[in-house]
Amino acid sequence: MGPSLIAALIVVAIAGLALIRTIRIVPQATAGIVERLGRYHRTLLPGLNLVVPFIDRIKGTIDLREQVVSFPPQPVITSDNLVVSIDTVIYFQVVDPRAATYEIANFLIGVEQLTVTTLRNVVGGMDLERTLTSREEINTELRGVLDDATGKWGIRVNRVELKAIDPPASIQDSMEKQMRADRDKRAAVLAAEGQKQAAILTAEGQKQAVVLKARGDAEAAVLRAQAEAEAKAMRAKGEADAIAMVFRAIHEGKPDQQLLAYQYLQMLPQIARGDANKLWIVPSEMGRVLEGLGGLFANPAGSAAGAAGATGGDEAAGSTGAPVSPPGAPRASGGANGIDRADLPGRDAHGKDTPAVG
């Protein structure tokens, strides 16, 4: 192998190496920093890039995707002198590869230390209870401070989250007891409120029941009174109709004086009936009633008995010697079937009714 061939191989090898160092392929979401003769020259974009071999040098590649970094728990002292352990998670993204490369040596360590100091500054102005209940406020303040501080590093902080806030074990025990006591208190208050409401509802129910019962009794009494009034009105109407019918029947029948006198006599025993009736008054018209009634029974046999009575009377008087009353003289007591005028009611000398003698 001659010297010329060796020289040719050396030239080909150098040319191949130069070609390899000239062509650079950058992956997607990645940026390359190119230095020329030790100074920053340009930033390689994703895809195929050409550089000057042996003059340009790629310092490194920067990931342009959003990155998630979880930092270990950090002890933080609150305003009430309690030490709590806080875990943080930061979401950030490199927006300027040149600044992230030349403005800070290691931006991850810088973000971590800045997060710790900012967290202690924010939480140091809060007490434990506010720290435990103000996560959103702490996240917002951390994000604002970190975004301002890391802007010159070419980094944008998108979110800061507190993953855990752990107070000391003694404080946790006290908090659990306090929470248990608070829950017991709320339970007792709710039970008392329930009993109070139940008592109020029971009293209201009893009150409404009494009111409704009284109202029902009143309405029932009114209905009973109305029913009784209607019944009495119906009975009175029936009695009035019956009396009207009797009255109409009597007038339609046209009774004579003798029938009325007979009915009048039939009602006298009913008037005197009863254990409490010791004395009863016979009206003065009784005499005329009996005279009319006597005339009713005497008229059918008046003509025949008149002649026979006159002849027989004279003969009987002649044979017995008893006096015969003249035709116009009053009769004495006539035996079992006779009616004594002395027994009939009449008027005394002063014009008053006299009771009949029994």
Which residue positions in the chain have pLDDT lower than 70? 1, 256-258, 260, 264, 268, 271-272, 274-358
User: Half-sphere exposure of residue 276, counting CA atoms within 13 Å on the CB side?
Assistant: 0
Encode pLDDT of 298-357 as tens digits. 554 444 344 334 334 444 333 333 343 334 334 433 333 333 444 444 444 444 444 444
Task: Tell me what pLDDT residue 304 has.
Answer: 39
How far the first Cα of the chain sits from its last, in Å, is: 195
φ/ψ of 352, rounded to 5, equals -95, 155
Task: Tell me what pLDDT residue 286 has.
Answer: 60
Encode pLDDT of 256-297 as tens digits. 666 767 776 777 677 667 666 666 566 666 666 566 656 655
Q: Which run of H or E residues covers position 155?
A: strand 155-166
Domains of the chain, residue spans: 3-63, 67-167, 178-253, 255-298+337-358
Task: Tell me what pLDDT residue 298 has.
Answer: 55
Task: Tell me what pLDDT residue 342 has.
Answer: 41
Task: Tell me what pLDDT residue 346 has.
Answer: 45
Q: How far apart are CA 354 and CA 128, in angstroms?
A: 123
Asked if residue 75 lies in contact with residue 83, where contact means CB atoms within 8 angstroms, the answer is yes
Separation in Å, CA 41 to CA 57, 98, 213, 267, 331: 9, 10, 103, 153, 180
Task: Tell me what pLDDT residue 94 has.
Answer: 92
Give the three-state DSSP class for 197.
helix
Residues sharing a CB contact under 8 Å with residue 147, sequence separation 6 or more, in sequence order:
156, 157
Task: Tell me what pLDDT residue 322 has.
Answer: 39
67-167 fold: Tetrahydropterin Synthase; Chain A (3.30.479)
Task: Tell me what pLDDT residue 231 has.
Answer: 92
Task: Tell me what pLDDT residue 203 has.
Answer: 93
